[in-house]
Amino acid sequence: MVVQFGLMACSATDEKRGRDAEEPRQTLAERTVNRGQYRERNCHVMSATEQFEHSPPPRPGGQISLNYTARPGLGGLSIKNFLLSVITLGIYSFWGKTNVRRHIWSCVHVMDEPLEYTGTGKELFLGFLIVTGIIIVPLFLIQALAPFIFFENIAAQVVAQILAFVVVLYLIGVGIYRARRYRLSRTLWRGIRGTLTGSSWSFAWTNFWMTFLLPLSFLWSYPWMRMRLTSRMTNDMEFGSAPFGFSGPVGPLYSRFAIIWISSLVLMILLPFALWISGLSFDPKSMIDGGDGPITPDQTTLVAFFIGLTLLIIPAFVLLFAVLRAFYVAGEMNHFAQCTTFENVRFEMRATSWSLIGLAIGNFLILIFTLGIGAPFVQQRLVRYFCNRMTPVGSLDVASIQQSQAEVDRRGEGLAEVFDIDAF
């Protein structure tokens, strides 16, 4: 994920896109040489792009580096976003999300150059309104009116509910793809943007039928599904005129998946057995209600002990499941990084089970103790984790990369916002 996040860039205005379509494409070196003309054409572009104009031409074959350099201001931004979102009944959250992205993006440095996010809260808000009016409201009306339309025809009501579920499941795939495309097209690095060139509808169809395959395969199709969808998304990605690549075997994922699948099955068998054992040696009802005479302190202590034991067993099993999940996710992240290429650059990831568990626990505590106000810090921790543990290997001739000529969608992440399927 961060491989794509760290290298993507986009153009900032519709005026610039229209002129770029009429003029010959320029490389990064040519744009630097024609510095005066470039500044005149983009005098309104944001500060990170202006820094690019004053920087020296990129060296061909430069070594790729990726790092995260935190800067102050995120705490005040978090409080501001929270207060204005409360005052505006949530409407400001779209602008708040944009401000957080601008802050976090600017902390990510690729070859010592910061990224720049050029999306707007207005785009996110309008995208949300469009999706709500065209898709969500009709689906809600179908669900609400189905009992009145079909009256006692239970079968027809069930069919209507199933159809609504199928539509939502399909649209989730569309939302995932378009949200990624929007973020890439709004990310600048040295004046060059990224893009996603494939079809969101085709991606959604693949996600749709593979999701239905999960219960039929008792989840054994999950690693294949993840590999297939990631390959599809990554191979559709481009940074400027240079494409990403994704290719590799699924076998390394199945070796870890087999371990967690079998272990999870054993845990699911042991959990009810452990609960049964904890209650086998005593009967609280008979001890409290059916016994002769008053309840003794020893009886009360015994009941409290076994209730406490039962309450400890469930969290212990949940924790074991989390450890198994982290074991698989760490392997998946490392494998996906190894399968990803960009020109002559490949990637290595150093994710571990315990580092992911520590990251998740820290993020959970931040959300709990700040009542959700600290969510931007959770997002920052996620991005910083990827940047600090991702290592690009190889050199890249950035001067040969030309601006992307793909059309930029003016709408925001409407589906992703409605279904809440993206952390950023």
Provide, rounded to the nearest whole percent, the portion of the chain with pLDDT above 70. 73
* Residue 6 confidence (pLDDT) above 60: no
pLDDT classification of 421: cutoffs 50, 70, 90: low
More confident residue, 37 or 365: 365
Write down the domain spans for the chain. 1-197+236-241+396-424
Residue pLDDT, tens place only, 183-224 = 999 999 988 999 999 999 999 999 999 999 999 999 999 999
The string of pLDDT tens digits covering residues 348-360 is 999 999 999 999 9
Per-residue pLDDT at 405: 75
Q: Is 341 helix (H, G, I), strand (E, B) or coil?
A: strand
In the three-class reduction of DSSP (H, G, I as helix; E, B as strand; rest coil), residue 80 is classed as helix
In the three-class reduction of DSSP (H, G, I as helix; E, B as strand; rest coil), residue 194 is classed as strand
258 phi and psi angles, rounded to 5 deg: -60, -40
What letters, b where the CB count within 10 A reaches 16 and e where it falls short, cover 187-224?
bbbbbbbbbbeeebeebbeebbebbeeeeeeeeebbbb
**What distance in Å separates the CA atoms of residue 26 and residue 243, rounded to the nearest whole number?**
17
216-221 long-range CB contacts below 8 Å, 24 or more apart? 219/261, 220/257, 220/261
Per-residue pLDDT averaged across 265-279, rounded? 76
Q: What is the pLDDT of residues 273-332, one digit of tens each?
A: 776 765 554 455 554 555 555 555 555 666 666 666 667 777 888 889 999 999 999 999
> Between residues 46 and 398, which one has the greater pLDDT?
398
- Residue 72 falls in which region: left (phi positive, over 0), alpha (psi -120 to 50) or beta: beta
**What is the overall mean pLDDT for the chain?**
80
Q: How far apart are CA 81 and CA 84, in angstroms?
A: 5
Sign of CA dihedral 77, 82, 84, 85: positive
Phi, psi of 273, deg, nearest 5: -65, -45
Cα separation, 35 vs 46, in Å, equals: 16
Which residue from 245, 181, 189, 197 is spatially nearest to 10, judged by alpha carbons? 189
Among 216-220, 365-369, 397-401, 419-423, the minimum mean pLDDT is found in: 419-423
Handedness of CA 261, 259, 324, 279 (dihedral sign): positive
Distance, CA of 90 to CA of 424 (rounded, Å): 16
pLDDT band at 164 (very low <50, low <70, confident <90, very high): confident
Give the pLDDT score at 87: 97
What is the number of alpha carbons within 13 Å of residue 36 lying toward its C-beta?
0
Please compute, for residue 377, the number of CA atoms within 13 A of its CA located in the half-sphere on the CB side.
22
Question: Which of these ranges, 37-51, 88-102, 161-175, has the smallest mean pLDDT?
Answer: 37-51
Structure tokens at 421: 């399927």
Q: With beta carbons less than 8 A apart as the criterion, state whether 199 and 15 touch.
A: no
Q: Is the pLDDT of residue 364 over 90?
A: yes
pLDDT band at 51 (very low <50, low <70, confident <90, very high): very low
How far is it, in rounded angstroms, from Cα 176 to Cα 359? 24
Burial 20-52 (b: 16+ CB within 10 A, else e): beeeeebbbbebbeeeeebeeebeebeebbeeb
d(CA 90, CA 244): 37
Q: Give the residue with greater pLDDT, 424 vs 415.
A: 415
| Cβ atoms within 10 Å, residue 132 | 14
Tell me: the pLDDT tens digits for 18-49? 444 444 444 444 444 443 443 334 334 344 44
Do strands 108-110 and 194-196 pair parallel, antiparallel, or not at all (unpaired)?
Answer: unpaired
The answer to whether the Cα torsion of 144, 147, 150, 154 is positive or negative is: positive
| Tokens linked to 402 | 């030309």
Question: Which residues does 370 contact at the CB level (< 8 Å), separation at least 6?
Answer: 78, 377
Helix (H) or strand (E) holding 128: helix 121-131
Do 339 and 246 form a contact (C-beta atoms < 8 A)?
Answer: yes
CA atoms within 13 A on the CB side of 388: 14
User: Backbone phi, then psi, for 334, in 5-degree steps?
Assistant: -65, -40
Residue 272 has what pLDDT?
76
Looking at residues 398-420, what average pLDDT do you find?
Answer: 66
* pLDDT tens track for 105-162: 999 999 989 999 999 999 999 888 888 888 888 888 887 887 777 777 788 888 888 8
Most confident of 149-153, 173-177, 225-229, 406-410: 225-229
